[in-house]
Structure 1
């Protein structure tokens, strides 16, 4: 039996949200009510007495080997080289302006949307409304993104109901969420508008700007593999690990760190999940900046490794 659904405007929580942004951002209430009314939300069903829903079993963590096999493919590497060659002038300009390596910009586009070929088919407004007012754990986050989305569409004269993106509300070539679109997207082709949906030039500049605003260290190192003893394995995290302590601190702890790394350089250590023994890496500040795009260490490492493979093949093709 299908759950009962009603237009979003029939929910008090949605009406309160509409009233709030009308008051704070001078939206037209009738126009907002019209577009919200076109989204249907499920009516929460009361649980039957005496029956408790079973908690969902946590999904097993995907191993690093499996994760990287999804992204480090010959097709993605080859298409990355082609994209770089086709947008050479723009990518060089972004690298020069923001001091973010060309191969990093290309790799992010490759992972996110296969260089603009897979931008998502989910209606973004519908996605954000459902996640803001449905049974989702991060409802407050999505309400902020829904507000940012409405501001973004107004600022860029975009019809809210026509935009499509990922299942979680990310959009365009670089898969920016709405707040990132507003804060980091740039008019890199200087045509008077910002377009991350159909303009690779704006997308290239916006990714470089995103990393620059997150304090990318100009052409700084990203990561190195490292073997850690059982006593030192506790310093490596599967979760995001921000470099806070310098090399001298870690050397004093007894870690064997390559002699070419200066004592003042701040480092962190991560673990990438494997079936038997996790892979361990020494990471620099720029690896942490990569995790600002996606907080999963596997994502950041996949972007780093893909960027190296694309650069290697790009350089080979030049000769």
Structure 2
């Protein structure tokens, strides 16, 4: 009897140890040095008391699904021919046209004030959240905590440097969302967003929320979750702050001369004259009537390789998301939305 009880206790202890070990692995603790550096940064940069930050860290959870989602974004794993149909579908176009019709007056006012077309604002909301239908289900606190402290680091030195910089970025966003919650009287524990920590109709990161959000309805708050007036004003302000040029083109279809060597520009900024691009073998498919500087965007479409000239406004859209496919999807969706409402779509 005594031996049996002792055996039972040993097995129970082993089971409890396994449970505790599994729990620790499921929700690991941040590296102590990294944690302390974060506390120091939150205090020195944003005036957040260490005890307050510690309390939020204690409520944060590591979520492997967030790391998994971050490692396979559509912009990196899909070519344009597969990426485009995700965002430019009959349903998304119809829904965008209906959304624009419902909020035409509010959007028209923002367009008049900022020069950012109403259909472009709607397209951003359509691509980001299906017009508010899917603003994200991940706890923002967990997303930023996971990516800030546990984003995987590979063995390649260059990749390690990029991933370390990305970790710093998300830790800073984590500090900023703590401050944002205080500034805007938000319930931080209840905030939901994307796997990267973006929030609201327009999927603003905390730093962008703090820097670019606007009070469009005049109630003294910047509410990107429940006030569409605030959402419209904020997206337009983001575009203006990043160099949107009212009435100017976004892209133009280009052709490559026969035998042209592939050209991949450095970055996405519109820095080449059309003459310079012509010297490289790329010319407008149709006469443009202007000589704005551009970059070259090459995409793999359903009909083969596509070449586009991306102008300053194209670059502005990429400040929302660094992917040229994202910017092209937003632009083309905006044109489809405008075409169905009788509005004049920007080229």
* TM-score bracket relative to the smaller structure: 0.7 to 0.9
Gap change, CA 1:236 and 1:201, over 3 Å in 2:
same
Equivalent position of 2:127 in the other structure: 111
What is the deviation of 1:113? Answer: 0.4
Task: Select the structure that is richer in helix.
Answer: 2
d(CA) in 2 for partners of 1:240, 1:107? 24
Gap change, CA 1:261 and 1:267, over 3 Å in 2:
farther
1:25 matches 2:53: no
Unaligned runs of 5+ in 2: 1-17, 64-70, 153-162
Conserved? CA contact 1:8–1:40, under 8 Å: no
Equivalent position of 2:113 in the other structure: 97
Conserved? CA contact 2:270–2:295, under 8 Å: yes
Equivalent position of 1:168 in the other structure: 196
Gap change, CA 1:313 and 1:134, over 3 Å in 2:
same
Conserved? CA contact 2:254–2:282, under 8 Å: no
d(CA) in 1 for partners of 2:261, 2:107? 39
d(CA) in 2 for partners of 1:104, 1:236? 27
What is the deviation of 1:41? Answer: 4.6
1:287 matches 2:314: yes
Secondary structure of the residue aligned to 2:235 is: helix
Secondary structure of the residue aligned to 1:186 is: coil
What is the deviation of 1:14? Answer: 2.0
Conserved? CA contact 1:225–1:282, under 8 Å: yes
Unaligned runs of 5+ in 1: 43-55
Secondary structure of the residue aligned to 1:293 is: coil
The correspondence of residues 76-225 of structure 1 with structure 2, limited to 5 A, is 76-136=92-152, 137=163, 138-225=166-253
Equivalent position of 2:300 in the other structure: 273
What is the deviation of 1:6? Answer: 5.3
d(CA) in 2 for partners of 1:130, 1:255? 44
Q: Over aligned residue pairs, what C-alpha RMSD do you find?
A: 2.7
d(CA) in 2 for partners of 1:210, 1:171? 15
Which one has a bigger Cα radius of gyration?
A: 2
Equivalent position of 1:306 in the other structure: 333
Gap change, CA 1:166 and 1:208, over 3 Å in 2:
same
Conserved? CA contact 2:62–2:142, under 8 Å: no
